[in-house]
Structure 1
Amino acid sequence: AERWGVVSRVVGTGEGEVVKEALAMAETIAAKGRIATQVGKESVKSAYELSLADGLRFERRLFHSLFATQDQKEGMSAFSEKRKPRFSNL
C-alpha cells in the first residue's frame, strides 16, 4: 500500500509502536505554529463540504488571514535568518 501511494507510512506491528508513532507525529505538529495548524485543519475539514472552486477560495481566504498574525512575521523572520521560529500563537 505504501509503494502504491495508498498510505503515507507503514508502522511496525510491535506492541505500542502505533502509539509511539502517533505521539511522535503529534510532537511534530505541536512544534508548528498553532494558528497555522488550526487553519490547515479547518481547510482540510472543509474539503468534504465544498466544491473544488469553493474550497480553493476558502483556502485562499484562510491563507491571507494568516498574514495578519504575529506568528506569520516570526515565521518569515526565522526562515530568512535560518533559525527556529519562536511562535507566540498571536
Structure 2
Amino acid sequence: MNIKNIVHFIDNELISPTNPISVNFIGAGGTGSKVLTALMEMNHSLIELGHAGLQVRLWDDDIITSGNLGRQRFAESETGLYKSVALINRANR
C-alpha cells in the first residue's frame, strides 16, 4: 500500500498577520446570517489567541420583511432595514 504524506501550505500572513484578515461576504439571508454569526465567533477566538482577527465586509441589498423572521436571524424590530446593515451593526456591538 502506497501512503503519501499530506502536507498543507499556508502563507505566513494568514498564520501571523499584522492586520486583520479581510473577508468579503455576499448574502445575508438564511444561510448568510448564520455564517456571519460563525465568523463573529471565529473572530473572537482568534483575537483571544493573539491573532489579528477578521475584517468582514458584508453585501446584501435585500430588505428584511416579516417573512424573513422565521428562518433568518432577524428580530421583528429590524423589519424594513437592509439585511447587511442590521447584521453588521449587531456584530459590531
Q: Could you tell me the TM-score, scaled by structure 2's length?
A: 0.30
Pick 1 or 2: higher relative contact order, CA cutoff 8 A, min separation 6. Answer: 2
- Greater fraction of residues in strand: 2
Q: Could you tell me the TM-score, scaled by structure 1's length?
A: 0.31
